Structure 1
Amino acid sequence: MNKVRIGIIGLGFIGCRHAESIANGAITGAELTAVCDSNPDKEQWVKENLGENVRLFTDVDQFLASNIIDGVMIATPHPFHTELAIRAFKHGLHVLVEKPAGVYTKEVRLMNEAAAASGKVFSMMFNQRLNPLYIKLRDMIASGELGEIKRTTWIITNWFRAQSYYDQAGWRATWGGEGGGVLINQDPHQLDLWQWVIGMMPKRVRAFCHFGKHHNIEVEDDVTAYVEYENGATGTFVTSTGEAPGTNRLEINGDRGKVVMEDEKITFWRLSVPTSEFSLTFKGSGFQQPECQKIDVPIEGEINEYNWGGIIQNWVDAIAKGTELIAPGEEGIKSLMLSNAMLLSTWIDNWVNLPINEELFYEQLQAKIQNSKAVV
Structure 2
Amino acid sequence: MINVAIIGTGAISTSHMKGYLQFQDRCKIVALCDIYPEKAEEQANEFGLDVTVYRDYLEVLEQDDIDLVSVCTPPYTHAGIAIEALRSGKHVLVEKPMASSLEECDAMNEAADRSGKILSVIAQNRFTSPMMKLKHVLDTKLMGPILHTQVDSFWWRGHSYYDLWWRGTWEKEGGGCTLNHAVHHIDIFRWMNGMPSEITAVMSNVAHDNAEVEDISVAIGRYPNGSLAQITSSVVHHGEEQQLVFQGKNARVSVPWKLKASQSLGNGFPEKDKDLEMQLQHIYDTQPNLQYEGHVGQIEDVLSTVEGKKEVLVTGRDGRATLELITAIFQSASLGKTVALPLDQTSPFYTTEGILKNATYFYEKTASIDNFQTNEITTGGNYE
TM-score normalized with structure 2 length:
0.84
1:275 alignment partner in structure 2: none
Identical positions, percent = 28
CA offset digits 1:82-134 (Å, max 9, x no partner) = 11111111111111111111121121111111111111122122111111111
1:76 partnered with 2:73: yes
Distance in 2 between residues matched to 1:269 and 1:52, nearest whole Å: 49
Q: Go from structure 1 to structure 2 and tell me whether the alpha carbon gap of 1:57 and 1:369 turns closer, same or farther (over 3 Å shift).
A: farther
Moved more, 356-365 or 84-93: 356-365
Distance in 2 between residues matched to 1:304 and 1:227, nearest whole Å: 34
Kindly report which structure 2 residues correspond to 1:128-207, keeping only aligned pairs within 5 A, or say none.
128-157=125-154, 159-167=155-163, 169-198=164-193, 200-207=194-201
Distance in 1 between residues matched to 2:166 and 2:110, nearest whole Å: 29
Distance in 2 between residues matched to 1:207 and 1:165, nearest whole Å: 25
Secondary structure of the corresponding residue to residue 13 of structure 1: coil
1:224 alignment partner in structure 2: 218
Secondary structure of the corresponding residue to residue 103 of structure 1: coil
CA offset digits 1:197-228 (Å, max 9, x no partner) = 22x11111000111x22221211111110011
Aligned length: 356
1:125 to 110, 122, 125: 122
1:215 partnered with 2:208: yes
2:259 alignment partner in structure 1: 268
1:333 partnered with 2:344: no
CA offset digits 1:308-363 (Å, max 9, x no partner) = 11111111111113322122232101211111110100111111111124440134
Distance in 2 between residues matched to 1:349 and 1:47, nearest whole Å: 48
Q: CA deviation at 1:53?
A: 3.9
Secondary structure of the corresponding residue to residue 81 of structure 1: helix
Is the CA contact (8 Å cut-off) linking 1:7 and 1:71 kept in structure 2?
yes
Moved more, 231-240 or 79-88: 231-240
1:287 to 261, 268, 271: 268
1:6 alignment partner in structure 2: 4
Q: CA deviation at 1:17?
A: 3.9
Moved more, 293-302 or 113-122: 293-302
Is the CA contact (8 Å cut-off) linking 1:141 and 1:147 kept in structure 2?
no
Q: CA deviation at 1:257?
A: 1.4
Partner amino acid, structure 2, of 1:86: I
1:367 partnered with 2:362: no
Structure with larger Rg: 1
1:241 partnered with 2:235: yes
Q: CA deviation at 1:74?
A: 0.6
Distance in 1 between residues matched to 2:202 and 2:291, nearest whole Å: 32
Is the CA contact (8 Å cut-off) linking 1:34 and 1:68 kept in structure 2?
no
Distance in 1 between residues matched to 2:227 and 2:359, nearest whole Å: 35
Q: Go from structure 1 to structure 2 and tell me whether the alpha carbon gap of 1:46 and 1:343 turns closer, same or farther (over 3 Å shift).
A: closer
Secondary structure of the corresponding residue to residue 149 of structure 2: strand
Q: Go from structure 1 to structure 2 and tell me whether the alpha carbon gap of 1:370 and 1:38 turns closer, same or farther (over 3 Å shift).
A: farther
Is the CA contact (8 Å cut-off) linking 1:33 and 1:55 kept in structure 2?
yes
Partner amino acid, structure 2, of 1:182: C
Partner amino acid, structure 2, of 1:166: Y
Partner amino acid, structure 2, of 1:140: V
Secondary structure of the corresponding residue to residue 37 of structure 2: coil
Partner amino acid, structure 1, of 2:192: V
Distance in 2 between residues matched to 1:161 and 1:47, nearest whole Å: 28
Is the CA contact (8 Å cut-off) linking 1:147 and 1:254 kept in structure 2?
yes
Secondary structure of the corresponding residue to residue 321 of structure 1: coil
2:330 alignment partner in structure 1: 343
Q: CA deviation at 1:50?
A: 5.3
Point out where structure 1 has 5 or more consecutive residues left out of the alignment.
273-277
Distance in 2 between residues matched to 1:80 and 1:11, nearest whole Å: 14
Let me know the Cα RMSD of the aligned residues. Answer: 2.6
Point out where structure 2 has 5 or more consecutive residues left out of the alignment.
371-384
Distance in 2 between residues matched to 1:9 and 1:150, nearest whole Å: 43
Q: CA deviation at 1:27?
A: 4.6
Moved more, 93-102 or 354-363: 354-363
Partner amino acid, structure 2, of 1:332: G
CA offset digits 1:276-316 (Å, max 9, x no partner) = xx6xxx8x4x4334543356653755689962111111111
Q: Go from structure 1 to structure 2 and tell me whether the alpha carbon gap of 1:47 and 1:239 turns closer, same or farther (over 3 Å shift).
A: closer
Q: Go from structure 1 to structure 2 and tell me whether the alpha carbon gap of 1:332 and 1:321 turns closer, same or farther (over 3 Å shift).
A: same
Partner amino acid, structure 1, of 2:325: L
